[in-house]
Structure 1
Amino acid sequence: MNAVDPLAFLLLLVAGALGAGARYVVDTLVQRAWRRTFPLGILLVNVSGSFLLGLLTGAALALDDTVATVVGVGFLGAYTTFSTVSVETVLIAERGRWRLALGNVIGTLLAGVAAAGAGLLLGTVLTG
């Protein structure tokens, strides 16, 4: 078993803090402008994060392992959020908005998978 690189670990922590902060900023700005029940901010965060992780994965062979880990696990891991989607979906359903709740789950899954696929394809093409 390999020991953890202290510098990589520190970079991972910093990237995680930046990713969480970026999620908060994007979600807050979008929701303030959106002003509806549907959690568009978190949807945009998760779809953009899925695209970026696909792009990173497609380009991973051209990147240093530490860079790919710090960006993928640290920044993007903290930026995207499955738990927030889950909680917001339950809250929407509790208000009796079942169609909206179902749309949130299905929309997040389909858009996220499509974005990840597009990012993976682009990353592979760019690093060819």
Structure 2
Amino acid sequence: MTGIEIALGGFLGAMARYLFYLVAESRWRQPKIATFLVNVLGSFIIGAFIGSGNLSVFWLTGFLGAFTTFSTMALDAVKDFEDGDWFAGISYLAANLIGGLGLFILAYTLF
């Protein structure tokens, strides 16, 4: 059953991320904001799950694994680097990593 749980969670997580992107794009017209928000929100939720002792593969590996995205974050930063905007790229990476880790620790501690 584990493989099915992960697959179903992954499908739903990917769809949730896509819907999140549509909303963020229509609201802020900036896809990097959507990537940042799904990464830090996902990190917070993962921290809450693990902190509470809930190690559900459906949620952690499936849904949240598909909801968050390291590869899109990397692509967004590389685009900044290619445009010559090293400060924006490094700042974006730092915000994702520090924000994600910080919110994970906060949620892990709270729950």
Please state which band the TM-score falls in when normalised by the shorter chain.
over 0.9
Which amino acid is the alignment partner of residue 31 of structure 1?
E
- In the alignment, structure 1 segments of 5+ residues that lack a partner are 1-6, 124-128
CA shift for structure 1 position 31: 2.3
User: What CA RMSD, in Å, does the superposition of the two structures yield over aligned residues?
Assistant: 1.4
Q: Percent identity?
A: 32
Match of 1:82? 70
1:16 to 2, 10, 34: 10
TM-score normalised over the length of structure 1: 0.81
Q: Does the 8 A contact of 2:6 with 2:62 survive in 1?
A: yes
Tell me, yes or no, if structure 1 residue 94 matches structure 2 residue 87. no
Question: Aligned residue pairs: how many?
Answer: 111
Preserved contact between residue 31 and residue 39 of structure 1 (Cα < 8 Å): no
**Structure 1 CA distance, aligned partners of 2:27 and 2:81?**
23
Larger radius of gyration: 1
Normalised to the residue count of structure 2, the TM-score between the two structures is 0.92
Query: Match for residue 40 of structure 2?
Result: 47
Residue in structure 2 matching 1:117, options 105, 108, 111: 105
User: What is the distance in 2 between the residues matched to 1:35 and 1:77?
Assistant: 25
Deviating above 6 A after TM superposition, structure 1's stretches of 4 or more consecutive aligned residues are none
Query: 5+ residue gaps in structure 2?
Result: none
